[in-house]
Amino acid sequence: MSVIRQRTKNLLAAGLMGILIASVFFGGVFTYILIHYNRTKQNLSMEYEAKIREAQGVREGQKMVRVAFASQNITTGSRISKENVEFKMYPEEQAPSNFMAILGDFDGKVAKIDISKNSAVTASMLFEEKSITKDVRNQEFQVISLPSGLMKNQYVDVRINFPTGQDYIVLSKKKVKDVKDTTVWYELNESEILHMSSAIVDAYLQGAKLYALTYVEPYLQEEAVANYPANLKVLDLIRSDPNIVQVAATELASKTRQALDLHLKEISDPEKMKVINEQQKQQNEKMAEQTRKKQEEVMRQSVKSGL
C-alpha cells in the first residue's frame, strides 16, 4: 500500500510539474504575442497620427477654393445647372486657372464638348447662348432653301445669293427651334425681322436665293458677321405697302416647294425608305435617351428620399 501511495504521489507531483512548466511556457508565449501586438499597434497608431498631422499641415499651408465638378456625364449642347454640377473644396494651386465657383456663373451656358462625370467644369468648356430680349419673337419661314438633313437645335447662317454672284449673310448663327419639310422656325429680334423682310423682298424682286448653311462645330465656332445691307428702296416699299412682304414670301415659298417636289421625284423609293428609317431611328434613340434620363432622375430622387 505504501508503495502504491508513493507512486501516486510521484505521478501527481510529475503532473503538477508538467502543468506548471506548460503554464510558464504558454504564459511566456502569450506575453510575447501581447507585447508584439501592442508594439505593432502603437507603431501603426504613430504612423497614422503622423499622416494626419502631415495632411493637416498641407491643408493649413494651402488655400482652398470652391470648384465646380460634373456630377454626371454632360453631353455637348446640354444646359449647365444644379442638376449636373456640384461644388467641392479644392487646393487653389491644383485648381484649373478658369475654374467656376458660383452656380450663377452657369446661367445661359451650355457645354461646348462632352464633360465626363467628376471632371472640373471650366469656362473654356462652356458656350453662352444669347439672352432673350423683350423684342424677340418666334418667326416661321418657308422661303429659305434648307440643307438636307437639317435638324432641330442645329445652328445656321441664313444667306442671300444674287444673280450677280454677290452673297451676303442675313442672319448669323441662328438656332433652329423647329423644322418640318420646307418650314423652319427661328427666334429673331426686331432688327433681324426687318433685315429678313428686306431680304425676302430683295429675293423676289431681284431673283435672288435665300438659303441656310449649318455650322460644323457650333459650340466651338464663333458666329459669322451678318453683312447683308438692308435695301433702303425695299424698306421704303415695305413701309408703303406692308403686303409686299407677304406677296414676296408666298412667291418664294412656292418656288422653294416646287424645287423640293422636283428633288423628291428624283429620289427612288428605296432611298426614300432609307431616309425615313434613319429619321425613325434617330427619333427612337432620342426617346430612349430621354427615358433613360428620367429613370436616372427618379433613382436619384429615391436615393435622396432614402437618405
Question: For the segment 65-122, what is each residue's pLDDT rounded down to a tens digit?
Answer: 888 888 899 888 888 888 888 888 888 888 888 888 888 878 878 888 888 888 888 8
Same domain, 122 and 167: no
Tell me what the pLDDT averaged over the chain comes to: 77
Number of separate domains in the chain: 2
* Poorest-pLDDT segment among 3-12, 130-139, 187-196, 220-229: 3-12
Q: What is the CATH number of the domain that holds 85?
A: 3.90.1210.10
Task: Decide if 204 is inside a domain.
Answer: yes
Same domain, 106 and 165: no
Give me 228's grid cell.
447683308
Nearest-Å Rg of the Cα atoms of the chain is: 39
Q: What percent of the chain has pLDDT over 90?
A: 16
Task: Decide if 236 is inside a domain.
Answer: yes
pTM above 0.75, yes or no: no
Predicted confidence band of residue 138 (pLDDT cuts 50, 70, 90) = very high
Task: Decide if 285 is inside a domain.
Answer: no
Same domain, 115 and 224: no
Task: Decide if 6 is inside a domain.
Answer: no
The boundaries of the domain holding residue 86 are 64-128
- What pLDDT shows up at residue 292? 74
Same domain, 115 and 151: no
Question: For the segment 217-244, what is each residue's pLDDT rounded down to a tens digit?
Answer: 888 888 999 898 877 766 666 666 666 6
Amino acid at 136: V
Task: Decide if 57 is inside a domain.
Answer: no
- What pLDDT shows up at residue 47? 65
Same domain, 159 and 185: yes
Same domain, 115 and 225: no
Same domain, 154 and 258: yes
Q: CA angle at residue 284 from 280 to 290, to 5 degrees?
A: 145
Q: What percent of the chain has pLDDT over 70?
A: 59
- What pLDDT shows up at residue 170? 94
Same domain, 251 and 145: yes
- What pLDDT shows up at residue 220? 85
Predicted confidence band of residue 197 (pLDDT cuts 50, 70, 90) = confident
Same domain, 147 and 261: yes
